[in-house]
Structure 1
Amino acid sequence: MSLKDVIRKFAYGPKTDSSSYVAYLRSLGMVIGENTTIYVPTKCQIDTTRPWMIEIGRNVSITEGVTILTHGYDWSVFKGKYGDVLGSAGHVRIGDNVFIGMNLTILKGVEIGDNVVIGAGSVVTKSIPPDSVAVGDPCCGIADIDSYLEKRRAAQMDEAADLYDCWCRNSPEARRGGCLQERYLRSFSGCSSREERMSSRTRPSKRRRGCTGRSTKARTFSSARNLPLPVTRSFCRNSRSIADIKASCMGIWMLTTQ
């Protein structure tokens, strides 16, 4: 462990990183499935007053600024006016394969189904059914997961072209004649792991290592290892199928396995 890691561990304790925070919450009695990530633990608030009332499934992504509550303190107003002290508690259950957007609040008594996307800034006051997309304050469903998938697929070519155009116009690396790194196109490749990249290969590549540089006909998409893959800007704009861009971006991943 480096000195920087030691200092960070001392400063943030169990919120040093996702794995430490998840382990800490589990030790308190919270149920958290495998492959669940809390991306910025220092900026998330997960209620530990009743940790055994929170269940989080597998493959859940909890992004920055998320708050999850199992109780409320609104009864303090009743106490001040009438002298009443009321209990307040409710379980929170989050299913498998869920994305929770930034700066989102989940209130007590909420259940979120499997395969759900919840947009940033939402306030979840009621349960969300499985296989859905929800957003808003209060949070409500706006689409099913299948239609949202088709919407995202349809947007891929325009977004890949936009990414490339912005990189060409604004990136200091582009102005120096550099190469667009593979990591920027990773999600467009359709491959999420080295195993998928390997299984997608149809034949070994004989391309020479090294960046091919820029030309008037084509720019170069390249990995951090400077592996060449020429792709023209017009190709991104004029491709008739998302499979075209996906195949080209996938080529980067194939080259990184050489």
Structure 2
Amino acid sequence: YLTADHRLMVEEPDAIIEGLQLLMKVLAVDKGYVGIEDNKPEAVTAMMRAASGTGIEVLSLHVKYPQGAEKQLIKAILNREVPSGGLPMDVGAVVQNVGTAFAVYEAVRYGRPLVERITTITGRGVNNPKNVKVRIGTPTADLIEAAGGFTEGIGKLIMGGPMMGMGQYSTEVPVVKGTSGILVMKREEVRQRESHPCIRCGRCLSVCPMMLEPASMGIFAERDMFEETEELFVMDCIECGCCSFSCPSDRPLVHLFRYAKAAIIKARQAEKDK
């Protein structure tokens, strides 16, 4: 659904590579990588050409969601694992989006602040899906208008992608720095979920890229047993949505994990404030 980064790599590869070089200089590192899924050959070719002779390596990665998550990228490219509760810097890595590299290039080369970004407006719910360069703060309604307006029978408006995006209740919600796309789904594409008790089938365990225990974490979270949820490393969850998608009982697992995380963070802050 989301192609903003793809188009940016195809149309501005030289700027992205120069932005990455600037980041490498600031961080005092001599090795840089660009990871691109192998279903984007046009972007791979463009970035390889731009990176030629720079020492930056462009890698074509196997398509496997959520390959673009920073911990998964570090494992795929460097074969290093970020420890539980840790950050990429703990294994000597920094991960940035190509949009960030492009913004750094624009800021250093031309003195332009980050006031606009490329955003995808897509889905069967709009008449003319496209990528647009839009000012941060622009209402979602303006993007929908630029894409030819709504089609008939709109079911859901999502800021982000279908797996990790957040549902929106208004087209007045503005574009922010991290708005990679707006997805508009038709009514027949949206299934009303009625949650049922966990049947312990284990599907969520088999698909979790962080090798967590989503079933148990979900049960503890819905019972407000946050200490037990934390002991199962819920804070390491990347909220990719694989568990919720695969659950035959339609349990809102990611929603429960976000709820538990917020409670844990609040408790930690209260402990610090004592």
TM category (shorter chain) comes to: under 0.3
Normalised to the residue count of structure 2, the TM-score between the two structures is 0.27
Normalised to the residue count of structure 1, the TM-score between the two structures is 0.28
Structure with bigger gyration radius: 1
Q: Which has the higher contact order (CA 8 A, sep 6+)?
A: 2
